[in-house]
Amino acid sequence: MTTTQQTETLPLATLNNVGVRFGKTVALDSVSTSIEPGLIYGLIGRNGAGKTTLLSLLASYRRPSTGSVHVQGDDPFEDAARMSLVHFVFARDVSDESDTVEETLKHCARYRKDFDIDLAMDLARRFGLDRKKSLSELSLGMQSAVSAVEGLASGAPLTLFDEVHHGMDAPSRNLFYNTILDQRAATGRTFVLSTHLVSEAAYLFDQVLILHNGSLLFDEPQDTLLERGTTVTGEAGAVEQFTADKTVIDNKRLGPTAAVMLYGVLSDQDRAAAEATGLECAPASLQDLFIHLTEPADSLTKGGTHEINPA
Amino acid sequence: MGTDPLFVQIKSHIEDMILSGRLAPDDQVPSSTQMVKFYQVNHLTVLKGMNMLVDEGIIYKRRGVGMFVCADALDRIRQARREGFVSAYVLPLVREARRLGISHAELLSTISHAEKEDTIHDNHATD
């Protein structure tokens, strides 16, 4: 570790054991993570899990109650240079904004030196935005598109999107996803996407952060996370026998066929044993894993306990 | 085949492009970002598939430019696919024929018939 350290890239941002409390409510509880340059992060969690709070910390919109936040190695709070490295994009209320789309984007270009106004105007056109319309005249989906364009064209090394694309229609979301991929490939920018649209956005994520009740349940490369879930399908008796000593997180029955989702990396011997008894093993999707790892344990009908140890 | 891991499916798709002649030696392979968009599959998964092709001598990397098809890619893919032909194609065919009660003679004549009638020929199919 010591000899290779100097060749490793420095993290763009880190959260060091941060906690955030609102009165008696714990929004985040000792969360530590490190945002590495050039990756696309998926931040997923149920409503109230703490996603927006986590993003607000990275963007210096608030300070943690405990622990520390670093951007490029130091506290970004009230440090203009460090704060400008991070761009936080969220759906904001623009119902009384009379500025036009074009004025809004030009305004962004004035206060962010890396803002690419040509890219912004091109994206605005491709999102179908009328640049002469005032923001208050736009539909919610179109307002989201303006926010998305601001973030995509910001040039910020670390760009945080908080459910920004949720109001957009499917073609617009597709353009949003493609532009993120293009920006990452062309400039090495880093993105964190908080989203509930897990299955459709999953392919973007290099690294997945799953927040649950204010704690970081998972923080790992998507392929590593997906190896933790396997769906075993086949004759119900054989499935039951195979899964008896394993952690079952979902259980489905269709006549004589059972499909059981297991939590835990399957060994090669396990796989061979499953195949020998005619069972089919398929990787679980991110959405499936997310659903079953964050649902209340008592919603399980049978099978193993719901103790998840991500370590 | 549909249950192969995604990186294997991507690897197979690139191999198919080479087998059919749509990608020739020294042609540039689509970039990983293009593939992420096309397949809607994660970047790491795409890289995993491409790295396997590099390891097998089917594509090679030019630093800062991209990935290209190796001169003997076609031969290597054919060799590898021939080795897996029975398990990937013949056994499933034989098993399905048995389930459907298709006799040995009927199966052979079906294959001969399909060979004659098939109008789809990849560039390299007859060389």
Q: Please state the domain extents for chain A.
A: 3-221, 227-299
CATH of domain A3-221: 3.40.50.300
Q: What DSSP state is assigned to residue B87? A: I
Q: What does the pLDDT look like over B43-82, one tens digit per residue?
A: 988 999 999 999 999 999 999 899 999 999 999 999 999 9
Name the CA dihedral angle for A41, A44, A50, A54, rounded to a multiple of 10 degrees: 0
Report the interhelical angle of B32-39 vs B43-55 (nearest 10°): 120
Q: What DSSP state is assigned to residue A215? A: E
d(CA B50, CA A53): 38
Whole-number pLDDT of residue B46:
93
* Closest Cα in chain B to A174: B37
Contact criterion met (CB < 8 Å) for B33 and A282: no
Contact criterion met (CB < 8 Å) for A223 and B36: no
Q: Is the dihedral of CA A125, A188, A310, A225 positive or negative?
A: positive
What 3 state SS string does A114-167 have? CCCHHHHHHHHHHCCCCCCCEHHHCCHHHHHHHHHHHHHCCCCCEEEEECHHHH
Q: Pick the closest to residue A82 from A187, A158, A180, A178 (CA basis).
A: A158
Burial of A311 (0-12, 13-18, 19+ CB in 10 A): exposed
Whole-number pLDDT of residue A83:
84
Contact criterion met (CB < 8 Å) for B36 and A283: no
Whole-number pLDDT of residue A78:
82
* Closest Cα in chain A to B2: A282
Q: In the predicted model, what is the mean pLDDT of chain B?
A: 90
Phi-psi map region of A306: left, alpha, beta (phi>0 left; psi -120 to 50 alpha): alpha
In the CATH hierarchy, which fold is given to the domain comprising B6-73? Arc Repressor Mutant, subunit A (1.10.10)
Whole-number pLDDT of residue B126:
45
Q: What does the pLDDT look like over A68-95, one tens digit per residue?
A: 999 998 888 888 888 889 999 998 888 8
**pTM, 2 dp:** 0.84
Least Cα separation, residue B42 to chain A (angstroms): 4
Q: Residues of B at the A interface (Cβ-Cβ below 8 Å)?
A: 3, 5, 31-33, 36-37, 39-45, 48
Contact criterion met (CB < 8 Å) for B3 and A221: no
Both tokens of B108, joined, read: 């052979």
d(CA A19, CA A28): 5
d(CA A128, CA A136): 16
Please count the other Cβ atoms lying within 10 Å of the Cβ belonging to residue A101. Answer: 25
In the CATH hierarchy, which fold is given to the domain comprising A227-299? Alpha-Beta Plaits (3.30.70)
Of B31, B39, B44, the CB nearest to A223: B44
Of A178, A206, A283, the CB nearest to B43: A206
Q: Residue A283: its chain B contacts at CB < 8 A? A: 5
Per the document, the length of chain B is: 127
Q: Residue B39: its chain A contacts at CB < 8 A? A: 203
Residues of chain A with pLDDT under 70: 1-8, 297-311
* Closest Cα in chain B to A177: B37
* Closest Cα in chain A to B37: A178
Q: Residues of A at the B interface (Cβ-Cβ below 8 Å)?
A: 40, 177-178, 181-182, 184-185, 202-206, 221-223, 280, 282-283
- Decide: B42 and A204 in contact? Cβ < 8 Å: yes
Amino acid identity, position A189: R
Whole-number pLDDT of residue A247:
93
- The three-class DSSP label of residue B103 is coil
Contact criterion met (CB < 8 Å) for A181 and B36: yes
Q: Residue A221: its chain B contacts at CB < 8 A? A: 44
Of A202, A222, A280, the CB nearest to B3: A280
Q: What does the pLDDT look like over B6-18, one tens digit per residue?
A: 899 999 999 999 9
Interface test with B, best of A203, A208, A233, A279 (most B CBs within 10 A): A203
d(CA A113, CA A95): 27
Amino acid identity, position A48: G
Burial of A76 (0-12, 13-18, 19+ CB in 10 A): buried
Whole-number pLDDT of residue A299:
47
Q: Residue A40: its chain B contacts at CB < 8 A? A: 43
d(CA A88, CA A161): 6
ipTM value > 0.90: no
